[in-house]
Amino acid sequence: MNELGVVVIGAGDMGSRHATNWIEAGARLIGVYDPDQNRARRVAGRFEAEAFTATEVFLGRSDVHIVSVCTPTHLHATYTVESLDAGKHVLCEKPAALTLPDALRMKEAALRNGRELRIGFMRRFDPASHQLMAFRQKIGDPVMAQTTLAAGVRPKLLMHDAAANGGPIIDMCCHIFDQWAALFGEQPDTVRAHGYTFSENKIELASIQHKALDSAHITLTYPSGAVGHIHVSWGLPGGIKPLEYHTYMAPEGLITVDWPKQVTLMDASGTNHWKGRASDPWLTQISQFYRELLDGEPRHLATIDDGIEALRTSLAVLESVAQGREVRPVEITGEMPSLVERALG
Ligand SMILES: NC(=O)c1ccc[n+]([C@@H]2O[C@H](COP(=O)([O-])OP(=O)(O)OC[C@H]3O[C@@H](n4cnc5c(N)ncnc54)[C@H](O)[C@@H]3O)[C@@H](O)[C@H]2O)c1
């Protein structure tokens, strides 16, 4: 077979990006599905693909081999499981899901059907991540890490909805949890967090019934002795431009990151600046998955297990906020929906 067919579910920003990238990677975009038919038609029309009105229409087709799930997060599991059960391979956007039971269902469906399932932690393919990994090898252990992720209230309401995308602790911090798992070579063993809803009284979010925590101070410890702090907020006044900075201190040096533009190493030999981004990580990720499926190249994308671990850490953060104590991520099990509800008060 020299070409695989793809359908994208969810014709928003990421769906549109996936559609473009699949074509650039060499796949055939068969169509786009979104209950908002105007959106589906708009994206499909750009590529002379079909705008589907129901999943059954394309999941039964033998020329559809891959499904890209680009819906709001609470719908990831439904479409991923349905697609895997129809025998398709799936690239699901990050985070894997909103709850652990959903993420586990996705894993079971992949195993049950013998199909490939990857989670879109595209930062793994960002040149800034590669540079950070390279500099990290030079600074020794233990590492003290600090990341600040700050933005005004997000324009997409679903990003603040505890029942949809889950707020930044699930939606945004999953990127950092996945990066740090790679950087430190392990998952955290303890989590302590304080959380806030800075946007509680913001008029633009008045229609959201269950607002997610939008701000948190998080401390993670790792078995090897690494420790990380995250300051995150999506609840600042609108108009504040999103910013993301990291610092990593260790006995042999200091790394600073102005994500994703600049990574700097300061060590005994001086200061070494790296400036990116030379390539598009979303395209690199999809091209890599395409080669894995078509040519059997080794797997490089995040697996559902990686997605589950990042989600487990997010849920441990919410649990720590709710209970006012340190939480071990291993405590987080399949009972998570009730824990999430408790964390959100
Ligand atoms: N990897 C990244 O860099 C990155 C960046 C942004 C968002 N994301 C993730 O991608 C996902 C989508 O985010 P987005 O920014 O594209 O959102 P978006 O709001 O731009 O698009 C979501 C689309 O899903 C559609 N949709 C809603 N209900 C649906 C349903 N029942 N069935 C099918 N489609 C439905 C909407 O009509 C919309 O077109 C989220 O999980 C988000 O966390 C990832």
Q: Is the CB of 73 under 6 A from ligand 1?
A: yes
Residue nearest to atom 15 of ligand 1 (CA): 13
Asked if the model's pLDDT at residue 342 lies above 50, the reply is yes
Torsion angles phi and psi, residue 272, rounded to 5: -125, 110
CA 147 to chain centroid, in Å, comes to 16
- Residue 334 above 80 pLDDT? no
Sorting pLDDT into bands at 50, 70 and 90, what band is 2? Answer: confident
Quick one: pLDDT at residue 143?
97
Verify whether ligand 1 is closer than 6 Å to residue 280 (CB atom).
no
Substitution candidate for ligand 1 out of 17, 71, 123, 175 with most atoms within 8 A of CB: 71
> Mutation test of ligand 1: which of 70, 125, 160 has the most ligand atoms closer than 8 Å to its C-beta?
70
Alpha carbon distance 341, 345 (integer Å): 6
What are the residue ranges spanned by the domains of the chain? 5-121+282-297, 124-279+308-343
Q: Let me know: does 235 contact 196? Beta carbons within 8 Å.
A: yes
User: pLDDT at position 333, please?
Assistant: 86
Secondary-structure class of domain 124-279+308-343 per CATH:
alpha beta
Q: Whose CA is nearest to atom 21 of ligand 1?
A: 12
Ligand 1 pocket, mutate which of 69, 93, 129, 171 (most atoms under 8 A from CB): 93
Residues 210-252 have pLDDT tens digits of: 999 999 999 999 999 999 999 999 999 988 889 999 999 999 9
Inform me whether the pLDDT recorded for 338 exceeds 70. no
Q: Which residues pair with 233 in a beta bridge?
A: 150, 215
Residue 343's pLDDT band (cuts 50, 70, 90): very low
Tell which CATH architecture fits domain 5-121+282-297.
3-Layer(aba) Sandwich (3.40)
Which atom from ligand 1 is nearest to the alpha carbon of 73? 41
In sequence order, what are the beta bridge partners of 263?
A: 257, 274
Ligand 1 and 142: CB distance under 6 A: no
What is the share, in percent, of the chain residues with pLDDT greater than 70? 96
pLDDT average, residue stretch 157-184: 97
pLDDT digits (tens, 9 = 90+) for 70-112: 999 999 999 999 999 999 999 999 999 999 999 999 999 999 9
* Stretch 326-336: mean pLDDT: 85
CB of 35 closer than 6 A to ligand 1?
A: yes
Q: Residue 14's pLDDT band (boundaries 50, 70, 90)?
A: very high
- Token digits of residue 325: 């104590």
pLDDT digits (tens, 9 = 90+) for 269-327: 999 999 986 789 999 999 999 999 999 999 999 999 999 999 999 999 999 999 999 99
265/209 Cα distance (integer angstroms)? 45
Look at residue 239 in the predicted model and tell me its pLDDT.
82
- CA dist 261 and 249 (Å) reads 19
pLDDT at 24 over 90: yes
**Tokens at 327, concatenated:** 């939480």
- Mean pLDDT, the chain, integer: 95
CA 34 to centroid of ligand 1, rounded, Å: 10
pLDDT at 151 over 90: yes
b vs e for 249-275, b when ≥16 Cβ sit within 10 Å of the residue's Cβ?
Answer: bbeebbbbbebbeebbbbbeeeeeebe
Cβ atoms of 195 and 216 within 8 Å: the answer is: yes
Vertex 118 angle, CA 112 and 121, to 5°: 150
**Is 326 near ligand 1, meaning CB less than 6 Å away?**
no
Q: What is the mean pLDDT of residues 322-335?
A: 91
> So what's the pLDDT on residue 335?
60
Residue closest by Cα to atom 17 of ligand 1: 12
List the beta strands (DSSP E) in 185-333.
Answer: 190-196, 215-221, 227-236, 243-250, 253-258, 262-267, 270-275, 302-303
Tokens 């933005």 found at: 151
Q: What is the DSSP string of 160-225?
A: GBTTTT--HHHHTHHHHHHHHHHHHTS--SEEEEEEE-TTTT-GGGTT-SSBPP-EEEEEEE-TTS
